[in-house]
Chains A and B, each alone.
Chain A
């Protein structure tokens, strides 16, 4: 499975404009809520709300559908495992020693939906936050800028190296390389590809270091500035207030 070049989908929506720190807070808060409220209605509500956010942010239907498609095998496996190991309750259908119960179905669905909710939470964040904005958010939260730069570079080069890998694989296959076998044998067969890739990676790293310095990175005696403002707007304070308020309320109700 190839990692997509980027998960970010560019749209001019309110959610996209929200400060990246607000979105980090949102993810953590909802995660906490789902942890505390592990019931089926809670998971279902979370999934519905997240869909609402995604659609209001202009994310196309097929991207959302793509996530459901990716989650399908996970959902099915959870349901099947749960049904096999939870035969207690009102039987709905029976085949041999396999007993499908209402309780089993409901509990399996609850767990599956919770995983789905977490997945949609993650993608709501990734779809609406551009990698650079993400890193800027972290830096404002206190991450040292060089770490932020490393993160940006990693996010850029990982897909790039992945496509290089496939390009090299094709090139070596065109010289008769056969890649067969499983596990360790397969890795051995891939050696010509891996070595060529490592050489490329090292060469790139070298060149990258030169490129950064040639654009004045690391110049002494200068305080680095930032083009984009990562200042909270009134709207961001508003979102934070709502998220905080709802989270605190839900926690209070649950833990009372």
Chain B
């Protein structure tokens, strides 16, 4: 699948005990006066489906860029499958860590969607027939077949966004980092993308998803990382984060509408950590009492 002469010995038989991504006391500043990350330490296990959120300027993108070599820490260590990646170049890491940039136009340049999707694989030295096969599969998976021979730069923003995600996904990276992939995307495209990512995650791949769509985080991400002013404010189960009123206030992120609704009805016995509409309705329905269920209504 990948080029011969793989340089990361751990990856040939990754030790299941090792975390996938690690940071140890990582600090980073673009300018000496303005520290963006401050002594960050954490370990992300393999197969995690992790949302990374925080206010604009909290350090989300800076944090993620350390994992594929785009940024090097001023202090501290960054590890991929247990190995310090300090000396690895961005192109070397590209085979293992795929990074989808916030602006799809920073990646799109090819004369056809097919070429664009094949670009990453060709860079990584894949055999041509494997490239063709994988390109066809990815075009199918992302519903991009009708646009296969069209120049991506002429397509609408939403399609360009899809193509840039597809082209990084096509290289089958073990870790997939996406920076605000759903900004400006409609609901249907967002759900389609989540379906693809969740399926990919079930195969054992790690996904880091930077977003400020709290609703999506609540509904689809079991774990989340919340950054605030360059420090970790929270890292753990999403539900626990929404249960903690103080943390929510400090993060200043706001909460999904349905969660706010639940929090406004706690005096009636509604849990404050409601994460989805279905959950809310179930809880509310049980508060109304069983007798009121109308025959033929949808299942709770």
Contact = CB atoms under 8 A, between A and B. Distances in A.
Question: Are A and B direct contacts in the complex by CB distance below 8 Å?
Answer: yes
Contacts of B103: 167, 171
Contact of A174 (B68, B105, B153): B68
A196 B106 contact: yes
Nearest to A199: B153
A171 B171 contact: no
A167 B120 CA distance: 17
A170 interface: yes
B105 A192 contact: no
B99 interface: yes
Given A170-B70, A199-B153, A176 B107 contact: no
A203 interface: yes
Interface string A147-174: 0000000000000000010011011111
B107 A196 contact: yes
Contact of A175 (B105, B153, B168): B168
Contacts of A143: none
Given A192-B119, A195-B109, A196-B106, A176 B101 contact: no
A196 B101 contact: no
A199 B167 contact: no
Contacts of B105: 196, 199-200, 203
Interface string B11-24: 00000000000000
A119 B171 CA distance: 50
A195 B153 CA distance: 11
Interface string A54-88: 00000000000000000000000000000000000
Q: Which of A171, A195, A200 has the most CB of B within 10 A?
A: A171
Contacts of A193: 109
Interface residues of A, number: 20
Contact of B94 (A174, A191, A192): A174
Contacts of B99: 171, 174
A175 B109 contact: no
Nearest to B90: A173
Contacts of A196: 105-109
A103 to B, nearest CB: 45
A174 B108 contact: no
A17 interface: no
A173 B109 contact: no
Nearest to B107: A171
A176 B106 contact: no
A199 B108 contact: yes
Contacts of A176: 91, 94-95, 120, 123-124, 171
A199 B99 CA distance: 21
A164 B90 CA distance: 18
Interface in A186-221: 191-193, 195-196, 199-200, 203
A92 interface: no
23 contacts: A164-B106, A167-B101, A170-B70, A173-B90, A174-B70, A174-B90, A174-B99, A175-B107, A175-B119, A175-B120, A175-B123, A175-B168, A175-B171, A176-B91, A176-B171, A178-B123, A192-B109, A192-B119, A196-B106, A196-B107, A196-B108, A199-B153, A203-B105
Interface of B: 68, 70, 90-91, 94-95, 98-99, 101, 103, 105-109, 119-120, 123-124, 153, 167-168, 171
